[in-house]
Structure 1
Amino acid sequence: MKRYLKFIFYPILTFIAIILIYLLSAYALSRITVDAEPNTSQDVGIYILTNGVHTDIVVPIKSNQIDWSKEIKYSNTVLKDTVMNYLAMGWGDKGFYLETPEWADLKFRVAFNAAFALGNTAIHATFYNKMTENESCKKIMISKKQYTRLIDYIDGSFQKDDNGHVINIKTSANYGGFDAFYEANGSYSMFHTCNTWANNGLKRSGQKAALWTAFDTGIFLKY
């Protein structure tokens, strides 16, 4: 009997130890700050936005550098409303995005695939008319050069067709009337989450960020 208990006890103990190490590492590394680039101009206003779990990067739809609506089309949303000024984009696990509208809908298969990089990824794009700064929405002023790097980072996260265009995912799993989903590059995992993607975007564009984070708190504690 003791032998059988060992076969059950040790794997469970190992699993708990791995989870604790992961959480402790996530806490410690997210508290280490990567400083913003010094002495840069403040030309473009972007935002970081969280729903309490997931971080989006929000950019102006149109600027002298890019018109996002040429690829992220209003017509791909339910309401097709063109009176919009901002575009929020977040990267994540495709199965989680499309099959889990609420936490109560989360399936073990979806969670397992997401945690261990077994699924595909998608970008969730949402149009906004205006942004309201609060604890869940922070404005960051960046230079044009930094915005160019952020554009390249976000654009490179989209999967493209043979003609170089982003690929809209046809689905009825929209969260509202102003959003759409697109095929993305990369693999989601417990080590590279939606918040890791957003944090890396901030680092790429020379903004204050966490050394590494899996959770949105690692980002928002810096702002």
Structure 2
Amino acid sequence: MPTAIPLRRAARAVRILLATVVVVLLGYGLAGLIGGAIPVHRAWQAPEDGVRIYVEDNGIHTGIVVPVSAVGVDWRDLVRPEHLRDPRYAGHSHLSIGWGDRAFYVGTPTWGDLKPSTVLRAAFGSEDTVLHVGHLPEPRAGEPGVRALVLRPAEYRRLADFIRSSFSTGPDGLAGSVPGYGRADAFYTAHGHYSALRTCNSWTGEALRHAGVRMGAWTPFPVTVMRWLP
């Protein structure tokens, strides 16, 4: 049968391709776990008093929850009530901030919304990044997926500087925005290249390392961020 050999070759090529994909994914996962286990700022310890922030994890994205105003840092010049579907939510005391690829972030609020095409597009890289900002009351201690962290004022200001530098602002000092998932959140245009090497969780880890907090050297997954928090 003249078609038997080409078919066998095609089947072999498919098997090699699938094996290669599996090896790459396993290697990426292992590298991420190793990178997340290497500590930076190993000697850092949380102070007894300072600015209380929170790190949240929804299973896909991690984000940082900060007070609207604290130790001279006020976010209301950048994140404004008119950016929300319901401006009344801007009266909440805290902001939840996370960074990521626009298509991945906007289109994947939960695991159920995850599509292979979105993952592949994001993995190969994107300059189309956004910051997701939600207005909320201060989280409660012990709330699932939320960890509290106390920073010294200087550490908090460094964290705020890092977050602010991620906003892509115009001459008026404001970033372009569109409404978010609901009435109390919005997406803002951002700086930064998203890829498999720099994910939304990597950004969270970078922000905390910039502040001086003990954190993993590379944090591409939620677990690699949250494992370092009390």
Q: Which amino acid aligns with 1:147?
A: Y
* TM-score, normalization by structure 2: 0.87
* 1:145 match: 154
Alignment of 1:6-17 (within 5 A): 6-17=12-23
The count of corresponding residues between Structure 1 and Structure 2 is 220
> Separation in 2 of the partners of 1:113 and 1:119?
11
CA–CA separation in structure 2 for the residues paired with 1:122 and 1:133: 28
Unaligned ranges ≥5, structure 1: none
Taking the aligned partners of 1:21 and 1:107, their CA distance within structure 2 comes to 21
Residue 101 of structure 2 contacts residue 122 of structure 2 at CA under 8 Å; is this kept in 1?
Answer: yes
- Structure 1 residue 137: Cα displacement: 1.1
Give 1:5's aligned residue: 11
1:18 aligns with 2:27: no
Whose radius of gyration is greater, 1 or 2?
2
Q: Distance in 1 between matches of 2:72 and 2:47?
A: 18
**Could you tell me which residue of structure 2 aligns to residue 222 of structure 1?**
228
Letter of the aligned partner of 1:58 in structure 2? V
Bigger proportion of residues as helix: 2
Give the SS at the match of 2:91: coil
Give the aligned CA root-mean-square deviation in angstroms. Answer: 2.0
Instruction: Show the counterpart of 1:52.
Output: 59
Q: What corresponds to 2:97 in structure 1? A: 89
Sequence identity percentage: 30
Residue identity matched to 1:27: L
Counterpart CA distance in 2 for 1:175 and 1:36 is: 39
Name the stretch that deviates more: 106-115 or 53-62.
106-115
* Structure-2 change in CA distance of 1:78 and 1:211 (3 Å): same
Q: Aligned partners of 1:97, 1:189: CA distance in 2, in Å?
A: 13
Q: Could you say if the C-alpha distance between residues 183 and 58 of structure 1 is closer, same or farther in structure 2, counting changes exceeding 3 Å?
A: same
- Which residue number corresponds to residue 164 of structure 2? 155
Q: Deviations over 1:138-182 (max 9, x none)?
A: 1111111111111110001111113332221x34xx222210110
Tell me, in whole angstroms, the C-alpha distance in 1 between the residues paired with 2:164 and 2:131. Answer: 10
Name the residue aligned to 2:39. Answer: 33
Alpha carbons of structure 1 residues 216 and 148: separation in structure 2 relative to 1, 3 Å: same
Task: Write out aligned runs for 1:102-181 (5 A).
Answer: 102-118=110-126, 120-134=128-142, 135-168=144-177, 170-171=178-179, 174-181=180-187
Give the distance between the partners of 2:167 and 2:185, measured in 1 at CA: 16
Distance in 2 of aligned mates of 1:77 and 1:165 = 14
Query: How far, CA to CA, are the matches of 1:71 and 1:119 in structure 2?
Result: 21
Code of the residue aligned with 2:154 in structure 1: it is K
Q: Match for residue 209 of structure 2?
A: 203
* Change in 2 beyond 3 A, CA 1:36/1:200: farther
C-alpha distance 105-38 of structure 1, shift in aligned 2 (>3 A): closer
Q: Counterpart in 1 of 2:86?
A: 79
Choose the corresponding residue for 1:62, options 69, 72, 76. Answer: 69
Deviation for aligned residue 1:39: 8.3
SS at match of 2:87: coil
Change (3 A) 1:102 1:141: closer
TM-score computed with the length of structure 1 as normaliser: 0.90
Do 1:95 and 1:119's aligned partners in 2 also have CA atoms closer than 8 Å? no
**Distance change >3 Å, CA 117–CA 68, structure 1 → 2:** same
